[in-house]
A and B are shown apart, each in its own frame.
Chain A
Amino acid sequence: MILIVTNKTDLTADYLIIALKDLNYGFVRFNLEDFPQHAQLLWDPSGPSGSFLRLPTGELPLSEITSVWYRRPVDPDPHPTLSAPQARRFAIAESKEAITGILESLDCFWVSRPSHINRAENKLLQLATAQRLGLSIPQTLVTNIPQCFFEFYSNLDSIINKPIKLSRLDFSDENKLIYTSVITKKQAARNQLTQYSACLFQEHLPKEADIRVTVMGRTLFPVLIHVRQSAPYYVDWRRYAPEDLDYSLVDIPQDISNKIIQLMDVFDLNFSAMDFMLTRSGKYVFLEMNPNGQWAWIQESTGLPLRENLAKILHRGVP
């Protein structure tokens, strides 16, 4: 049985579930906001009662789980009668830790284990590992020392700044996104970039195109992302409106493919969405990877059989 750990608003989970139904593969969806009000668990690793999840759709013995797709779980949601913020935080943390621990103890196939995803999300560790494996990365500087930033800035034609961790800030009435952006002279002159935080700076390389490589198991699905000529230039393709982008299938060199698989192995992942830049000189430059990134819209844009592939590896329980 395939277990999907996510939340009710995760449309990518819906997208896969449609394929699982078409292929007649058994699955159970565990939306974490259901816990503990509408879902229960029992874990008894040495006792006779058997361990299980009791979900709104029925009871699932943990021994029946053969694969887990760890998708986008949200926080558990204790009953509102538990109103004190500290008590709620405690209950949420306890529930979350219990669920994660119980699931991680399952000896089954994962796409991917949460502990592996968490480790692989660190962008600096990604860059260091990619470079160690022989992938090209942009010249990179992480610092909060102004002199070092200015030296880096003055030695390169143009540099970019990208968030190390958060790419979104939530305000009470709206959300703001933080994209990769070119550092302007005005920003640099304000001398505040390194005042409050460590910041990640990279050389701004002239690019031919962006390449998104979706890796599922050991299969790579590289896609070239084109920006339509009428659109303005942005460093970060996520800034474009959907109608400004086109996607096409692309072959990437075997050497790059091999290193991508090695990168997956180092982090012990069975899924990743990796971003590369193809420079004007034809070099593939690793930018970052998203160990739990989005992919359904790529299937819709290119026809690549991503969900069918993911469904099959989850069903088979091997990458």
Chain B
Amino acid sequence: MNRNIPFALLFQEPECSSPGKNNTYYDEAASVTMAITESGPVPLVQLESGILGTRTMTRAAAEPTDSD
């Protein structure tokens, strides 16, 4: 697949260092994503790897309002 477009430079999306999906789950009652840690489940966003997921470069795709 040709991934060049002539009118813009494309850059690799940075890897998000959040824990893998196997270590997290969305807790419906708590209304947040939890990460499983050695000391038990904690909100993912309270971990450093979680807060990295709020950075502007790791935004979710294909949203109408994903321009950061």
Contact = CB atoms under 8 A, between A and B. Distances in A.
A131 interface: no
A178 B8 contact: yes
Interface string A6-35: 011111111101100000000101000000
A90 B19 CA distance: 35
Contacts, number: 138
A68 interface: no
B43 A176 contact: no
A189 interface: no
A170 B67 contact: no
Interface residues of A, number: 61
B6 A192 contact: yes
B68 interface: yes
A275 B50 CA distance: 24
Classify the interface of chain B: helix, strand, loop or mixed.
Answer: loop
Interface residues of B, number: 40
Contacts of A168: 13, 59, 61, 66
A262 interface: no
Interface string A113-132: 01001100100000000000
Given A171-B1, A294-B56, A296-B54, A196 B67 contact: no
Interface of B: 1, 3, 5-14, 26, 28-29, 31-33, 43-46, 50-57, 59-68
Interface of A: 7-15, 17-18, 27, 29, 56-57, 70, 72-74, 114, 117-118, 121, 161, 163, 165, 167-172, 174-179, 181, 190, 192-197, 199, 238-239, 241-242, 273, 290-297, 300
Closest 9 CB pairs of A and B: A192-B6, A296-B54, A292-B65, A176-B10, A14-B32, A14-B45, A29-B31, A175-B13, A11-B53
8 contacts: A72-B60, A72-B65, A174-B12, A242-B55, A290-B67, A294-B54, A297-B51, A297-B55
